[in-house]
Structure 1
Amino acid sequence: MSKEALYIGIMSGTSLDGVDTAIVAIKGKQIRLLDSDFLSYPDTLKRDVLAICQGQATSLKSIGELDHKLGKLYANAVESLLAKSSYNTSDITAIGNHGQTVFHQPDGDIPFTTQLGDNNLVAALTGIDTIGDFRRKDMALGGQGAPLVPAFHRYLFGDSESTQVILNIGGIANVSVLQPNGDVIGFDTGPGNVLLDHWCTQAFGQAFDKDAQLANQGMVHHELLAQMLKDPYLTRSAPKSTGREYYHGQWLDTQRAAIKPGMSDHDLLRTLTEFTAMTVADAIKPYGIGNSPKLLVCGGGANNPIIMSRLSELLPNWHVDSTDSEAINGDYMESMAFAWLAHCFVNKIPSNLPSVTGASKAVPLGVFYPAN
């Protein structure tokens, strides 16, 4: 029987709120979340990331410095996690670090993806072997390099007689569709919180809409909603993935310019909230198989009561709940996933799903950065 091993997963997503870390124990088909932590992004670092992730002009010096700063931040996040836990550096087999995506371009003549955060620094400063750069091997094999978590979701939730969809609502919303026959489909449905957070910051000076308190003061602007629903990404077939380089403030400004002026800031926020819920529901409706299809939600959007209630209303034949209802902490699902991806790399287990990403074959993902 395989021996239990401990891994740390690090995730910082498109929402740019901070760094999630998790210590997990993995043994065969069993995985346990042992401890978790969250380290906020310093305002200056968030500003630096935003300054380059939407295609703005930059320099090699700026990118190199940001890579270094992020590497130190991730190392600090690991140290913070271990300090609050009962575990030591020597207990951890490896770290799985996603890094900060600053540009993702899977389509076109020159596909590429860029995640920053120097994993040599992470390994050296923590003293723990680190696995990073998870996306580019999949892209080298013709895949989208995203989403990567559907393989983990299949590992977690297994088989069912009805469709199970795991929805992560971070900056971008992505789904893993687990079909009763064992097939797995996964893709980014479109924006999750990225536009909501952008408008909260711009209009209200807040990083996000806690408990949808601001959106609750507005009404859906149906003309703007209809305009946004024309976005061509939404009707593209999977495999597909997107990011902040596509859905950003300028995208929103273009949508608003196409309609008659005149709506309150609260109305715009409520409309963006509706847009996220509708695009998710429209994306997964065709996959509902069985008597009780299930939608399990994780990520920051699972804490938005408007999104959750609208998903239930838009999908009346589905059981809609958070992954917490299945004893999986939704706030740390993705950091757990990257701990598992590190486990797969160490044990030479293929961890991408060609049916999801479009890659030509399944392979272990990641690059090894030794501590010594």
Structure 2
Amino acid sequence: MAAATPALFMGLMSGTSTDGVDAVLADFADPAHPRVLASTALPMPAPLRNEFLALNTSGPDELARSAQAGNALAELYAQACLQLLSETNMAACEVRAIGAHGQTVRHDPASGYTIQINAPALLAERTGIAVVADFRARDIAAGGQGAPLVPAFHQAMFSSTRPRAVLNLGGIANVTLLRPLGSDSPVRGFDTGPANILLDAWIHDKTGQAYDADGAWGATGTANTDLLEYLLGSEPWFTLPPPKSTGRDLFNLRWLQQRLDHFEATKKGLADADIQATLVLLTAHSAAQAIKAHAPDAADVLVCGGGACNPRVVSALETVLNLPVTPTSDAGVPVQVVEALAFAWLAWAHEAGVYAGLPTVTGARHPSLLGCRYPGTP
């Protein structure tokens, strides 16, 4: 039997954590089993990261600043793509398209908009490769949340003979609830709350570190269950039914500090590391509560994203859920590659006419073909 004709796509992701760009080159000759040919990760330059964080709130001259940040991100994206081509000895003309999500700075589907800073035309110009971008807009136009974007990909990659949850622990945590293979029940998915976003913000504010490597700093503290209950109980978003999505607009250092100020008015003495340890449990409990409420028969949980590398978070999840919690690496996709591969898949889906915007996930009025295509160099 002749080998299938390669169908090469790239995927790029710079998530809510704003710490860097993950990139992947994959062959979708067999879309059910894409083959990762190469992956890379580039750190987000500190000035660009600071600008993205600043653009999460209103400020002076933000239209020009957003455009300039989009151009800078496109240059970083292009660097990652060209590195993948070099590592694999591939030519740009061999790649069908790049899936590039951009950097989310505002997300308010209730008001009918979402903003991902990006410059896909510049990326297409720099690489010579077609770019698929603007993945959320059509779903929001159809009345959906525009997020999460990855459940259709999770369904394609991780479905099994048992009910399963796939939990992405990026800046924000999102869960995909998969029914067993052959089931008529639709895939569902939604955001569950903060994952790394508060953990990163707190350690950076207190120590200057960008993130808590291996959860080491949090491990020196003692979680406070009263504070955990207050954080969970004081935020109405946690009890909203899906479909739902969120981001830095809600969960940020200001959100946390307001609650700490109120909590510490009646209970003093928490060390900074104690608060970090409590935030680990906030990530685990908010995700676990969502899974228990909406997939009580889940047999196991696959985790991916940066939070999957934090043993404290994973251990807390296992304790609260009383289920096996394993990395997606055990299912064939490294935890740090999943989201970039998802955007390569979304680019493939756009090119193949696969409607990856699912109403059962986002609440939209109808399925949507996600993304807009910017042609490569003629």
TM over 0.5: yes
Segments of 5+ residues of structure 1 without an aligned counterpart are: none
Question: Equivalents in 2 of 1:88, 1:28: separation in Å?
Answer: 21
Report the residue type matching 1:33 in the other structure.
V
**Scaled by the length of structure 1, what TM-score is found?**
0.95
**Residue 245 of structure 1 is aligned with which of 241, 244, 249?**
249
Q: Is the 8 A contact 1:298 1:331 kept in 2?
A: yes
Question: Equivalents in 1 of 2:257, 2:58: separation in Å?
Answer: 16
Report the residue type matching 2:164 in the other structure.
Q
Query: In the alignment, does 2:163 pair up with 1:163?
Result: yes
Query: In the alignment, does 2:361 pair up with 1:356?
Result: yes
**Residue 329 of structure 1 is aligned with which of 315, 329, 334?**
334
Paired residues for 1:221-370 under 5 Å: 221-230=224-233, 231-260=235-264, 261-288=268-295, 290=297, 293-316=299-322, 318-370=323-375
Paired residues for 1:70-85 under 5 Å: 70-85=73-88
What is the match of residue 131 of structure 1?
132
Question: Equivalents in 1 of 2:12, 2:23: separation in Å?
Answer: 5
- Please list the CA deviations of residues 156-178 of structure 1 after superposition, one character each: whole Å capped at 9, or x if unmatched: 12342x32100000000000001
The structure 1 segments of at least 4 consecutive aligned residues displaced by more than 4 Å after TM superposition are 55-58
Secondary structure class of the residue paired with 1:138: helix
Secondary structure class of the residue paired with 2:37: strand
Instruction: Out of 20-29 and 43-52, give the one that drifted further.
Output: 20-29
Instruction: Out of 220-229 and 305-314, give the one that drifted further.
Output: 220-229
Paired residues for 1:102-251 under 5 Å: 102-107=105-110, 110-160=111-161, 162-180=162-180, 181=183, 182-230=185-233, 231-251=235-255
Name the Cα RMSD after superposition.
Answer: 1.5
Count of residue correspondences: 367
- Please list the CA deviations of residues 12-70 of structure 1 after superposition, one character each: whole Å capped at 9, or x if unmatched: 00001100000011124221111100010000000110111144555322122112211
Segments of 5+ residues of structure 2 without an aligned counterpart are: none
Percentage of pairs with the same residue:
40
Question: Equivalents in 2 of 1:13, 1:29: separation in Å?
Answer: 25
Secondary structure class of the residue paired with 2:369: coil
Question: Equivalents in 1 of 2:276, 2:91: separation in Å?
Answer: 44
Question: Equivalents in 1 of 2:79, 2:355: separation in Å?
Answer: 30
**Scaled by the length of structure 2, what TM-score is found?**
0.94
- Please list the CA deviations of residues 281-300 of structure 1 after superposition, one character each: whole Å capped at 9, or x if unmatched: 1110124455x611000000
Question: Equivalents in 1 of 2:239, 2:296: separation in Å?
Answer: 21
Instruction: Out of 163-172 and 218-227, give the one that drifted further.
Output: 218-227
Aligned-residue offset at 1:74: 1.2
Question: Equivalents in 2 of 1:61, 1:130: separation in Å?
Answer: 23
Q: Is the 8 A contact 2:167 2:304 kept in 1?
A: yes
- Please list the CA deviations of residues 194-221 of structure 1 after superposition, one character each: whole Å capped at 9, or x if unmatched: 0000011111111111111100100012
Query: In the alignment, does 2:15 pair up with 1:9?
Result: no
Secondary structure class of the residue paired with 1:147: coil
